[in-house]
Amino acid sequence: MATRSILRNGQEMAVTETEDEAVQAVRRDHPNPVKLEGIDGVVLYVNWAHITSIGPGRRPCPRPTVSGGRRRAVPKPPLPPDLVAFLAEPNPSVVATIRPDGSPHTAATWYLWVDGRVLVNMDEGRRRLEHVRQEPRVSITVLGRADLYHHVTLRGHAAELMADPQFTDIDRLSEHYTGRAYPQRDRDRDRDLGRVSAWIEVRSWHAWAVIEPWTGGR
């Protein structure tokens, strides 16, 4: 009985069994495995369809796969009434923008759901404002205040950027979340930072309720 290294369910693992048994074990998960001779006599049986690269160090690297039956169509607006009611609440949220190098940037933010669009507001010094000016695609994830396992993610683009010189929009947001006008207007003025509103047009969404998709109705 020899120790073999096999790929099973996408994970490399060592087993003690005969070569024939090792081949059969791999074939149950990955048809037509290829035998690779390794260092110190270690033998690895893999399916080339699941290899992304081979090089120095621990290889191969399995590519995760998702069966077609588990894929779902991405919902489009309008959202179900239950989710609209959820978005109308002053829930915490995180907005994601795209940096110039293509990497993501996230920040906690206040938001307001208005007739199927999302209003956010930021001062002129925020990096995310630079991001959306160059690349308008954004997403925002809204989390339930009492239950973080209920959340809605909205994906779209910043369709409008508008100056907010009178603090009208940031006041709306502050009153929605705190019950009073924006308290740091003097600080922003002292720093000579104006405020800018962004209106996000929603192109698609998905929602989650504990362990399954949330489509409304609970």
Q: How much is the pLDDT for 201?
A: 98
What mean pLDDT do residues 74-90 have? 95
Q: How much is the pLDDT for 184?
A: 86
Q: How much is the pLDDT for 167?
A: 93
Residue 107 has pLDDT above 60, yes or no: yes
| Encoded tokens for 147 | 């239950």
| Phi, psi values for residue 22, rounded to 5° | -65, -45
Residue 50 has pLDDT above 50, yes or no: no
Q: What ranges do the domains of the chain cover?
A: 2-65, 81-213
* 81-213 CATH: 2.30.110.10
Q: Is the dihedral of CA 85, 90, 94, 100 positive or negative?
A: positive
Q: Is the dihedral of CA 181, 186, 188, 193 positive or negative?
A: positive
pTM for the model stands at 0.65
Residue of 84, 67, 87 lying closest to 10 (CA atoms): 67
Q: How far is CA 53 from CA 13, 34, 95, in A?
A: 18, 15, 34
Q: How far is CA 60 from CA 22, 92, 189, in A?
A: 17, 41, 57
Encode pLDDT of 186-208 as tens digits.
777 777 788 999 999 999 999 99
CB 214 within 8 A of CB 84: no
Q: Sorting pLDDT into bands at 50, 70 and 90, what band is 185? A: confident
What mean pLDDT do residues 93-112 have? 97
